[in-house]
Amino acid sequence: MPFSIPPHLSTGERLRRWGIAAWSLIGILILMAVAFWLLLKIRVIFPPLVLALLLIYILNPPISWLERRGTPRAVAAIGVYTICVAIAVGLGFLLFPFFSSQIDQFSEDWPAFREEIVIFTEDTAASLEDRFGFEIDTSGVSCLLGDVQRADGRDCDQVAESLREAITGNTGRLTHLGLSVLEALLIFILAPLIALYLLIDLPQLKRDLVNLFPERMRPEATDLGQKLARAVGGFFRGQLFVAFTVGVLSAVGFRIIGLKFWLVIGAIAGFFNLIPLIGPYIGGALGFLVGVVTGGMSLGLKAALVELIVQQLDNHVISPQVMKRTVQIHPATVVLALLAGGTLAGFWGVLLGVPAVAVGKILLGHLWATRVLGEEVTPFRRGAPPAEARPPDVVEGET
């Protein structure tokens, strides 16, 4: 339903609404800053909470569908959970032998890979030196790959050693949550339990949350909450679909050209594509490097071409449709959100930066339209009755 055209407002009324909007914006920014500070203090809950929210957004639509057809919500939630666990276990049994064999092969071949990478780097540097006439120091490459001494027999220089320590340290911080037994239990045991409890009680939780607002604001709060849930839930579901698609396309492409470790590299590309626009570049770099080491420059270029094709499909066909249908954010804004999120909160900031921007966009757009322009609240669903006509204690829509 389109916005209604507001009546002509006097200068005093426009100034009053501008003032309300400005103070509301300041209040929202203060609340967001306080919430962000508190979340940083208790960031240990991020992994299980994010995984729980992800499970809720994925599983709530089929659970709600079953509930609307007469299945008790608790039965529907447990049934959907059981089916998903069975599918995950089946896929694990199906793919584990491939992953295991490729990882074992990589461990065996790593010393030779390391030597090949050093040789390839030195040959490339020598070629560039001959062509352009400037000197390139490649002695630090062996340090970055784990050698204690440089190619000329001397100890690693301080710059290369510091860079290697920085890379190792950052990698350790990013993977610390997966290596810690206690935190792994928090993520993979507590998160599904939290999601299950929330899924069972989700309709009641929605009603309780809406009832916190004054009665006259409940229809508006309901409508705004549904829009936020649609954007965030659509983003998470969409990114999972994009990541799965990128991983499958990358793995299939690498398998066709005969690249070693095709399944592992494809899985890495798909996993990192949970962060928008990142996966194909990482997959392309790994594919090129492995291709050059194992099959020469020709295979490396073929691997890079595979990821280039996947990247073009992702950036121009798959991701734009997901962004358009869910968060409706321009790709440039996505990149800025990733940079800002990574600066503020590291890995979790990168992961949650885009949905946070989407939430802020919806909140500010709603505030501007209703408090400044004086427009009516638009209904969440096209063709639905206006939000003011709904009972205040009923929350419709899906998360």
Of the candidates 321, 340, 375, the residue with the CA atom closest to the CA atom of residue 6:
375
Task: Give the rounded percent of residues in the chain with a pLDDT score beyond 90.
Answer: 8
Q: What are phi and psi of 229, to 5 degrees?
A: -65, -40
| Whole-number pLDDT of residue 354 | 81
| Whole-number pLDDT of residue 151 | 46
Under DSSP, the state recorded for 380 is S
Which of 74-83, 188-197, 309-318 shows the highest mean pLDDT? 74-83
Q: Confidence band (pLDDT; 50, 70, 90) for 15?
A: confident
The better pLDDT of the pair 268, 143 is held by: 268
Q: With 80 as the cut, is the pLDDT of residue 233 above it?
A: yes
* 285, 293 contact by CB (below 8 A): no
Question: pLDDT per residue over 245-294, tens digit each?
Answer: 888 999 999 999 988 888 888 988 888 888 776 767 888 888 888 888 88
Question: pLDDT per residue over 120-130, tens digit each?
Answer: 777 777 777 77
Q: With 70 as the cut, is the pLDDT of residue 60 above it?
A: yes
Please give the helix or strand (H or E) that residue 371 lies within, else none: none
* 246, 273 contact by CB (below 8 A): yes
Q: Confidence band (pLDDT; 50, 70, 90) for 75?
A: very high
| Whole-number pLDDT of residue 240 | 86
Strands (E), 340-397: none
| Whole-number pLDDT of residue 121 | 75
Q: Confidence band (pLDDT; 50, 70, 90) for 176?
A: very low
Write the CA distances from 160 to 144, 166, 372, integer angstroms: 7, 10, 56
Q: With 50 as the cut, is the pLDDT of residue 235 above it?
A: yes
Mean pLDDT of 301-315: 87
Query: 312: which 2 tokens?
Result: 């073009």
Lowest-confidence pick of 52-56, 198-202, 322-326 = 322-326
Mean pLDDT of 189-215: 87
Question: pLDDT per residue over 85-108, tens digit each?
Answer: 899 889 888 888 888 888 887 777
Q: Confidence band (pLDDT; 50, 70, 90) for 160?
A: low
Query: 130: which 2 tokens?
Result: 């001959």
The DSSP code sequence of 31-52 is HHHHHHHHHHHTGGGHHHHHHH
3-class SS of residue 214: coil
The better pLDDT of the pair 222, 129 is held by: 222
The better pLDDT of the pair 214, 46 is held by: 214
Q: Report the mean per-residue pLDDT for the chain.
A: 75
Q: With 70 as the cut, is the pLDDT of residue 382 above it?
A: no
